[in-house]
Structure 1
Amino acid sequence: MATKNNIGPRRLVVGAHYGVRDWLAQRVTAIVMAVYTVVLLVMFLTAQNFSYEGWAGLFSQQWFKLFSLVTLFGLFYHAWVGIRDIWMDYVKPAGIRLLLQMATILWLLACAAWTVQILWSV
């Protein structure tokens, strides 16, 4: 009678396998948001024109629109990973957890659409 050895390299690993990917994604998005914050702070501290026109001029530049868009999309993904983990860890009924995750996704997609609308209206 052979015994099944579930220890070592022959063990069967199950699960979602997204832990390292999401951990790394949160670190990368955090770095992007930190760089954006530094760039925005430098622009603010070196700006000559502290009016609406000055800020609209900054956000009308294509490179800054794209940088802002990438940063905000990174923020939305960063938020999704964090909120999803909260729902998975603390909400045990699967139906309620699914409802909360769907509501979170819809909210973040609406925020992303609004972000595009705002950035490209300047």
Structure 2
Amino acid sequence: MVVNQASLKRNGVQDFVSLRATALILTAYSLFIIGYFLTTPQVTFEAWQGLFSNLAVKVFTFAALVSMMIHTQIGLWQVLTDYVKCAKLRSVLGFLLNLMSFVYVAVGLFVLWGV
């Protein structure tokens, strides 16, 4: 059997690896934020602004936002294909929910980088 490696279709292995990779990034980011709250005696606006003025924190936050979008898109596709049998409804719901996920990342980008 010939396997087309140039295909743009997803497969189960790619989804599995993507979910695990994004979950690791989201877990690391969550632990970082929890650690920040535990080690900072008083979280003020100045402390919070100081944290997010660091380029590494901005990049890590953006990576977490993109990971959230990828994780959400794969999860939504799996849930919608399992539980929504009407193809038109599944398409509309998939479009709307993926659009919401994209808007979440776009708003996060504007807030994070002040664009």
- Aligned match of 1:72: 65
The equivalent position to 1:39 in structure 2, one of 29, 32, 35, is 32
- Please tell me whether residue 81 in structure 1 is matched to residue 68 in structure 2: no
Q: Identify the range of structure 1 (47-56 vs 88-97) with the bigger mean alpha-carbon deviation.
A: 47-56
Shift of 1:42: 2.1
TM-score with structure 1 length normalisation? 0.80
Q: Which residue of 1 aligns with 2:107?
A: 114
1:41 Cα deviation from its structure 2 partner: 2.0
Query: C-alpha separation between the residues in 2 aligned to 1:88 and 1:43?
Result: 39
CA distance in 2, matches of 1:35, 1:103: 29
User: What's the CA shift string for 1:34-73, capped at 9, x where partnerless?
Assistant: 1111222222222244211101110111110010010111
Q: Which amino acid aligns with 1:29?
A: T
Q: CA RMSD in A?
A: 1.8
Quote the Cα distance in structure 2 between the aligned partners of 1:50 and 1:101. Answer: 38
Quote the residue 2:6 is aligned against. none
Which runs of at least 4 in structure 1 moved beyond 3 Å after TM superposition?
none
User: How many Å apart are 1:84 and its aligned residue?
Assistant: 1.2
- Runs of 5+ unmatched residues, structure 2: 2-8
Residue 74 of structure 1: how far off its partner (Å): 0.1
Structure 1 CA distance, aligned partners of 2:75 and 2:17?
13
